[in-house]
Amino acid sequence: MSQSQANDALRYRLALDAPVTSDAHIPVLLADVVAQLAPRPGGTYVDGTFGRGGHAGAVLAALGPEGRLIAIDRDPQAIAVAQALAATDPRVTVVHGRFGAVAEHLAALGVAQVDGFVLDLGVSSPQLDASERGFSFTRSGPIDMRMDPTQGPTALDLIRALPPEALATILRDYGEERLHHRIARRLKEAERAGTLTDTVALAGVIASCFSAGDLRKMHIHPATRTFQGLRIAVNGELDELAAFLEAFPALLAPGGRCAIISFHSLEDRLVKRRFRDLAWESSLPPRFAEEAGERVHAVCVPIERKAKFADDDEADDNPRARSARLRTCERTTAPNLPSHR
């Protein structure tokens, strides 16, 4: 790292630490993200899930004075951190919004294409640690779970509004919870009885649905999957990711890269399938493929064949990294033509 890059990194850390000194956020797979993203000095990069800026700071340190970072987040607390950074670093542009609307955000900024994207999906450590956000089942707080607490219904609103069958479907599809019917029914009963007073009470109702034998064999908290399902539904997380995956190839300059960290199979499955489809090439000769409306060449190619996981040392230092997996692809020069397989 050059002296100027070291100065950039130090300035970034000072700006990051000043507004939110209580947040202890360790970015996962940081070295791997930087290695696979391979930021170009002077390039333009988008961090679609800025959070507390761990990955953004590492990218900024590699960009040099002519580079640009566009920081997107829907969480007002994350935006406050990003704005503090932007106040000290003119290379940073801040957007309060959803990363799924990245095409609209870039168009509003007059940016046609960028050199890279990075996404760190799911809930962040500061969000989990803030009991008032309602993401944690071990800290008492409102049953909220909104990533942007200024918009949309809360998790409690969802429990109140949905019939048991619809609630059970959310827990099954988004939480992959096998006791979805029983838990949904108990949650509705507790809500009607007025006993869903906070997140700890919510977790207690969920735990009561499991037998003592089940609880002894479980390696995760019994409320983990239900909280995940409710959170994904409240924030529309999979729809958000699907919208981004559809939009990003046209926004990525040739040779640019897209790095995505996911934390559960639902997210990773979407990323893996999209990257696979973008890497697909027609087996037909180019002329016949074009006549059939099929893609002739790969639009994106994977940087590594398999997902990258944290090593044992990182997982020990940062428990959140244990379930993290990184996939990165690189944009080719091929046009983004549809496939009619």
Q: Is 207 left (phi over 0), alpha (psi -120 to 50) or beta?
A: alpha
Note the pLDDT tens digit of each residue in 134-164: 999 988 999 999 999 999 999 999 999 999 9
CATH number given to 138-235? 1.10.150.170
Token output for 228: 């995940």
pLDDT bin (cut points 50, 70, 90) of residue 20 is very low
pLDDT digit string (tens) for 247-269? 999 999 999 999 999 999 999 99
Task: Write down the domain spans for the chain.
Answer: 3-120+238-331, 138-235
52 and 20 in contact (C-beta within 8 Å)? yes
Instruction: Name which residue leads in pLDDT, 146 or 24.
Output: 146
The pLDDT assigned to 338 comes to 56
Contact 249, 331 (CB under 8 A): yes
Two structure tokens written together for 268:
């990773």
DSSP for 59-114? HHHHH-TT-EEEEEES-HHHHHHHHHHHHH-TTEEEEES-GGGHHHHHHHHT---E
How much of the chain, in percent, has pLDDT values that exceed 70? 87
Of the options 3.40.50.150, 3.40.30.10, 3.40.50.2300, 3.40.50.300, the CATH number for the domain spanning 3-120+238-331: 3.40.50.150
pLDDT tens by residue, 168-217 = 999 999 999 999 999 999 999 999 999 999 999 999 999 999 999 999 99
> What residues have CB less than 8 Å from 293, skipping those under 6 apart?
337, 338, 340
4 Cβ contact list (under 8 Å, min separation 6): 64, 65
Other Cβ atoms within 10 Å of 111 Cβ, number: 15
